Amino acid sequence: MKTFTSLITIVSAALIATPSFAQTSGTSPGIGTAPVGAATAPTGQPNPQEMMKQMMEMSKLNENHKLLADMNGSWNYAIKMWMNPDPNAKPQESKGTATRKSVMNGRYVAMDVTGKMQMPGEDGKMKDVQFKGMSVEGYDNAKKKFVSSWIDNMGTGIQFSEGTYDPASKTLTFTSEIEMMPGMKMPVREVLKLTDKDHMLLEWYETHGGQEKKTMEIAYTRAGKK
């Protein structure tokens, strides 16, 4: 359905073009390509044919999409979570698996995550709980940013994130804001270090009362590797 919606949007935009329209072909700040300039007709109106060409150009895959696709495959992960307010308390640890695959002809990457984590039961005692999560990642050529959404079986909201890539450190950095309780919004920063083709390290930072604190770390190892 989204494919048809996108096509309708492109055609409609070309037919009802206004002077305010201006888009450029997007890539990450670390992986550049030349932007496509907006062409205008003699009347000052955007040229519909050039607009269509420009929008189709923005729909093309580039190095940023390939970067995400290079992480496709099956992974094992070990997670540490610092949930105890006591800074000297040991982190809660667990393990699980993740599978990443390209969808929509390589435009996005979908990841399915399965694992177990310790959660308090109705009696207040900690017990193992099955955890499932799913994300969709991509690179938005219009925004010139990496984009991501996340859902899991521990809540009902959808986390939306935007990020950039630093090729020098091979690091993706995403920022978002989550609202676990009504009116309690919390800034989040995720740093994904692409150590090598078989290893990744995710660090999760939360900001409470103006202070940022690392509360989670996930070490990914490609299945079959050490």
Q: What is the pLDDT along the chain (226 residues), one digit of tens a residue?
A: 443 334 333 334 443 344 433 333 444 444 544 444 444 455 666 788 888 888 898 999 999 999 999 999 999 999 999 988 887 889 999 999 999 999 999 999 999 999 988 777 788 888 888 999 999 999 999 999 999 999 999 999 999 999 999 999 999 999 999 998 899 999 999 999 999 999 999 999 999 989 999 999 999 999 999 8
Amino acid residing at 139: Y
Query: What pLDDT, on the 0 to 100 scale, is given for residue 122?
Result: 80
How far is Cα 188 from Cα 64, in angstroms, rounded to an integer?
Answer: 23
3-state helix, strand, coil in the chain (%, to 5): 15, 50, 35
Query: What pLDDT, on the 0 to 100 scale, is given for residue 44?
Result: 63
- Neighbour-count burial for 137-152, b at 16+ CB within 10 Å, e otherwise: bbbebeebbbbbebee
How far is Cα 120 from Cα 142, in angstroms, rounded to an integer?
Answer: 43
Distance (Å) of CA 141 to CA 25, 166, 182: 6, 17, 33
Cα 124 to the chain's mean position, in Å? 34
How far is Cα 176 from Cα 190, in angstroms, rounded to an integer?
Answer: 8
Residues 6+ apart with CB under 8 A from 9: none
User: Residue 22 is inside which H or E element, if any?
Assistant: none
Q: Return the bridge partners of 120, or none.
A: 126
